[in-house]
C-alpha cells in the first residue's frame, strides 16, 4: 500500500495506531447491522466477541474501547485493593496506562527486569515475597506479547509455559497484554490460541497492526467477562450502537492478520538501512516484528524528530537520544526507501 500513509507527503512511522480504515473496511462499517450493546442487542458486536473468543480458545470476550481498558479490567478482576501484580519494568500496564492499576484497582506493580520484556519463571518466583503483614500479597503476573519496549520482542512459547506453570504453582492468575499478539503469532508461527492457552485472560487490540479505527477485547472465562462488563460500564466504556466500530474490527480480524509479515519485512528493511548510518545504534536486536528502536550518538531525539518531519517522515522520540519507528499496513517498501533517504539527510 505504498503511498497510502502519505497525507501531505507525510510518511507516518510514529505507531501502528495511526492506520486509517481501508475503503473495504469503511464499506463494512457503513453496512453494519447495529443495536444497543449495553442491552446486548448489537449483533455485530456479539459476532466480534464470539469470533475473538473462539480464535483464542476462550469462553467469552468483551468489546472495549482500548487495550488500556482491557488490561485494567484484568488487573481489577484478578486482585483486590492493596494487592500486588508482577510485571516487567518496561511493560505497558506500568508505564503507559496513567497509573490505572493504582487508581482503578488500588494495586501496586512489582517490577521484574527481563530481557527485552521477557522474564523467566525464576525471575518471577524470586520476586514473590513471603506471606507477611508488611507485604502486599501477589495475585497475578502480567506478560506483554509482543513487547513494545523490547522492540516488538516475542515471547517464546516455552518461556511462557514455564512462567504460567510457575504462576499456577503459587496460585497466581496470568494475564497477557496481547495488544500485538497478532504480530507475535505471525513472527513465531505459534497460533494465538496456543499463546492464550497459558493465560487466564488476555487483552487484544484491533486498532494497531490489524488496522481497525477503534477497539480491543478483554478475553477469558465467561464469569470474569460478565464481571468485566459491569466495570466497563462503571468506567464509562459502555457503548450503544457500537456495531459500526465492531464491524471495522471484525473486518480487520478476518482479513488483516495474515498480511502482517509484510510489516515485519518492512521493519527489517528499515532497521538494515538505519544500521548503515554512522552514529545509529539499533536497540532490541534481532528484530522480530514491526517495531524499530534506535539510539543516536551525540544527537538529541527531539531535534532529529523535527528534522525528519521537515523531510516528510514522522517518528516518535522515546528518550533524550532514542527514537521509535513502527511499520504498519499503510507503509509499503517504497515508503521505507523514502524514509531512509530522509534519515540519511538528517542523520548523515
User: What's the rounded Cα separation, in Å, for the pair 127 and 287?
Assistant: 29
3, pLDDT greater than 50: no
225 lies in some domain: yes
Q: What is the mean pLDDT of residues 156-167?
A: 98
Say if residue 175 is in the same domain as residue 268.
no
133 CB burial (10 A radius; 0-12, 13-18, 19+): exposed
Say if residue 152 is in the same domain as residue 202.
yes
Q: Are 206 and 44 in contact (CB under 8 A)?
A: no
Strand 84-88 vs strand 280-283: parallel, antiparallel, or unpaired? unpaired
Q: 260-275 and 181-188 helices cross at what angle (nearest 10)? A: 80
Strands ordered across the beta sheet of 108-112: 60-64, 216-220, 201-205, 173-178, 138-144, 84-88, 108-112
Show Cβ contacts of residue 94 under 8 Å, excluding neighbours closer than 6 positions.
Answer: 87, 88, 101, 109, 111
Say if residue 286 is in the same domain as residue 224.
no
Say if residue 235 is in the same domain as residue 273.
no
1 lies in some domain: no
Say if residue 232 is in the same domain as residue 128.
yes
3-state secondary structure 90-137: CCHHHHCCCCHHHHHHCCEEEEECCECCECCHHHHHHHCCCCCCCCCC
pLDDT digits (tens, 9 = 90+) for 94-151: 999 999 999 999 999 999 999 999 999 999 999 999 999 999 999 999 999 999 999 9
3 lies in some domain: no
The residues pairing with 216 across neighbouring beta strands, listed in sequence order, are 64, 205
303 lies in some domain: yes
From 255, 278, 298, give the residue that closes a domain: 255
27 lies in some domain: no
> What residue numbers bound the domain in which 61 lies?
32-255
Confidence band, pLDDT 50/70/90 cuts, at residue 4: very low
Q: For residues 165-186, b (16+ Cβ closer than 10 Å) or e, as one string? A: ebbeeeebbbbbbbbbbbbbbb
The grid coordinates of residue 16 equal: 501502528
Residue 100: per-residue pLDDT? 97
38 lies in some domain: yes
Q: Are 78 and 200 in contact (CB under 8 A)?
A: yes
From 255, 288, 318, give the residue that closes a domain: 255
81 lies in some domain: yes
Say if residue 128 is in the same domain as residue 273.
no
8, pLDDT greater than 80: no
User: What's the rounded Cα separation, in Å, for the pair 321 and 313?
Assistant: 17
The grid coordinates of residue 164 equal: 504460567
Say if residue 37 is in the same domain as residue 80.
yes
pLDDT digits (tens, 9 = 90+) for 295-344: 999 999 999 999 999 999 999 999 999 999 999 999 999 999 999 999 99
49 CB burial (10 A radius; 0-12, 13-18, 19+): buried
Nearest to 284 by CA among 179, 153, 164, 183: 153
9, pLDDT greater than 70: no
User: What's the rounded Cα separation, in Å, for the pair 77 and 202?
Assistant: 12
pLDDT, the chain, mean: 96
From 255, 282, 309, give the residue that closes a domain: 255
Structural domains of the chain, count:
2
2, pLDDT greater than 50: no
User: What's the rounded Cα separation, in Å, for the pair 67 and 206?
Assistant: 9
199 lies in some domain: yes
Residue 273: per-residue pLDDT? 97
Say if residue 56 is in the same domain as residue 170.
yes
What's the CATH code of the domain at 275?
Answer: 3.90.1150.10
Say if residue 72 is in the same domain as residue 205.
yes
Say if residue 158 is in the same domain as residue 286.
no
Show Cβ contacts of residue 129 under 8 Å, excluding neighbours closer than 6 positions.
Answer: 135, 138
Q: What is the mean pLDDT of residues 286-293?
A: 97
Say if residue 231 is in the same domain as residue 114.
yes
Q: How far is CA 171 from the centre of its chain?
A: 26
pLDDT digits (tens, 9 = 90+) for 36-92: 999 999 999 999 999 999 999 999 999 999 999 999 999 999 999 999 999 999 999
Q: What percentage of residues in the chain have a pLDDT greater than 90?
A: 97
Residue 58: per-residue pLDDT? 98
What's the CATH code of the domain at 150?
Answer: 3.40.640.10
The grid coordinates of residue 229 equal: 462488563
169, pLDDT greater than 80: yes
1, pLDDT greater than 50: no
Say if residue 333 is in the same domain as residue 219.
no
Amino acid at each position: 500500500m505504498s503511498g497510502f500513509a502519505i497525507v501531505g507527503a507525510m510518511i507516518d512511522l510514529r505507531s501502528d495506531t495511526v492506520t486509517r480504515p481501508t475503503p473495504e473496511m469503511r464499506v463494512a462499517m457503513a453496512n453494519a447491522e447495529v443495536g444497543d450493546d449495553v442491552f446486548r442487542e448489537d449483533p455485530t458486536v456479539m459476532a466480534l466477541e464470539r469470533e475473538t473468543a473462539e480464535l483464542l480458545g476462550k469462553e467469552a470476550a468483551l468489546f472495549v474501547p482500548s487495550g488500556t481498558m482491557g488490561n485494567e479490567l484484568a488487573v481489577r478482576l484478578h486482585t483486590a485493593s492493596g494487592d500486588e501484580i508482577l510485571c516487567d519494568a518496561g511493560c505497558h500496564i506500568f508505564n503507559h496506562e496513567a497509573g490505572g492499576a493504582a487508581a482503578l484497582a488500588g494495586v501496586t506493580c512489582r517490577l521484574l527486569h527481563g530481557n527485552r520484556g521477557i522474564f523467566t519463571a525464576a525471575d518471577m518466583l524470586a520476586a514473590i515475597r513471603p506471606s507477611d503483614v508488611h507485604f502486599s500479597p501477589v495475585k497475578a503476573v502480567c506478560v506483554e506479547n509482543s513487547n513494545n519496549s523490547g522492540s516488538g520482542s516475542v515471547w517464546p512459547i516455552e518461556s511462557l509455559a514455564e512462567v504460567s506453570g510457575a504462576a499456577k504453582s503459587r496460585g497466581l492468575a496470568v494475564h497477557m497484554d496481547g495488544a500485538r499478539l497478532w504480530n507475535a503469532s505471525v513472527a513465531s508461527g505459534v497460533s494465538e490460541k496456543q499463546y492464550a492457552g497459558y493465560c487466564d485472560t488476555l487483552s487484544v487490540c484491533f486498532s494497531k497492526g490489524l488496522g481497525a479505527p477503534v477497539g480491543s477485547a478483554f478475553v477469558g472465562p465467561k464469569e470474569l467477562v460478565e464481571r468485566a462488563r459491569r466495570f466497563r460500564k462503571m468506567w464509562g466504556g459502555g457503548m450503544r450502537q457500537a456495531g459500526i466500530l465492531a464491524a471495522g474490527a471484525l473486518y480487520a480480524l478476518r482479513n488483516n492478520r495474515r498480511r502482517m509479515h509484510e510489516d515485519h519485512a518492512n521493519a527489517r528493511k528499515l532497521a538494515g538501512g538505519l544500521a548503515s548510518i554512522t552514529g545509529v545504534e539499533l536497540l532490541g536486536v534481532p528484530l522480530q516484528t514491526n517495531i524499530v528502536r534506535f539510539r543516536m550518538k551525540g544527537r538529541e531525539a527531539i531535534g532529529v524528530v523535527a528534522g525528519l518531519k521537515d523531510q516528510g517522515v514522522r517518528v516518535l522520540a522515546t528518550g533524550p537520544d532514542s527514537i521509535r519507528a513502527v511499520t504498519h499496513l499503510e507503509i509499503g517498501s517504497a515508503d521505507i526507501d523514502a524514509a531512509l533517504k530522509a534519515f540519511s539527510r538528517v542523520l548523515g
